[in-house]
Amino acid sequence: QPNLFGDPKKAMRNAYNSTDKLILENTRDLGRGGSTAVTAIVVDGKELWVANVGDSRAVVCHDGGNADQLTVDHEPQTERRRIERQGGFVTAIPGDVPRVDGQLAVARTFGDGNLKRHLSSEPDFRSLRIESNTEFVILASDGLWKVMNNEEAVNLVRNIKDPQVAARHLTAEALARKSKDDISCIVIRFG
């Protein structure tokens, strides 16, 4: 994307829009489903930009083990007004999570063409100055976050220096906790 480092927010927005469009245009080959996403850009080793749609999440560890969620989980209940303005509805059946049109448990995705008129692919953004006390960031799909909270994830890998080993450890732990969802995980260390 042009302006990747000059204007990370614009570059990420363009990339998200292009990705959604590409998925929707290729539904025949890719299938009718969709995906959530979380992405990060590190600018000059000094600034971290994250964007997400859906419930894929970025969590930063700083100050000796504090975990801060940098992203917003795009749940149907919190975006009910927008969904209803666009002609959709949110179900809340006892024993189940709220769903867009009774089907999808997230309010923002790539793809999902059959529900697209009620969904958004507009990402949320957050930037963070990388300080000397910023240790690492975890980027992961909901297959991880459904079985552990932010603090647990940070504590599980805080002492693992190799980011690939840390990501594999988180994935293995999510599987050991019987995660039923897809698990994607990346760890980026700073300093």
Can you give the pLDDT at residue 107? 97
Can you give the pLDDT at residue 29? 74
Q: Which CATH class is domain 8-189?
A: alpha beta
What is the rounded distance in angstroms from the CA atom of residue 106 to the CA atom of residue 165? 30
And the tokens for 90? Answer: 């949110």
The answer on pLDDT for 1 being more than 70 is: no
Can you give the pLDDT at residue 32? 75
Residue range 145-186, pLDDT digits in tens: 999 999 999 999 999 999 999 999 999 999 999 999 999 999
And the tokens for 88? Answer: 């959709």
CA distances from 102 to 34, 73, 172 (A): 16, 18, 32
Residue range 36-48, pLDDT digits in tens: 999 999 999 999 9
- Bridge partners of residue 137, in order along the sequence: 60, 188
Nearest to 126, CA basis, from 190, 72, 79 = 72
Can you give the pLDDT at residue 105? 95
CA distances from 66 to 28, 59, 73 (A): 44, 10, 19
By the 10 Å C-beta count (0-12 exposed, 13-18 middle, 19+ buried), 57 is classed as buried
Can you give the pLDDT at residue 169? 99
Residue range 68-107, pLDDT digits in tens: 999 999 999 999 999 999 999 999 889 889 999 999 999 9
Of the pLDDT bands very low, low, confident and very high (cuts 50, 70, 90), residue 33 is confident
- Specify whether the CB–CB gap between 32 and 114 falls below 8 A: yes
What is the rounded distance in angstroms from the CA atom of residue 53 to the CA atom of residue 116? 13
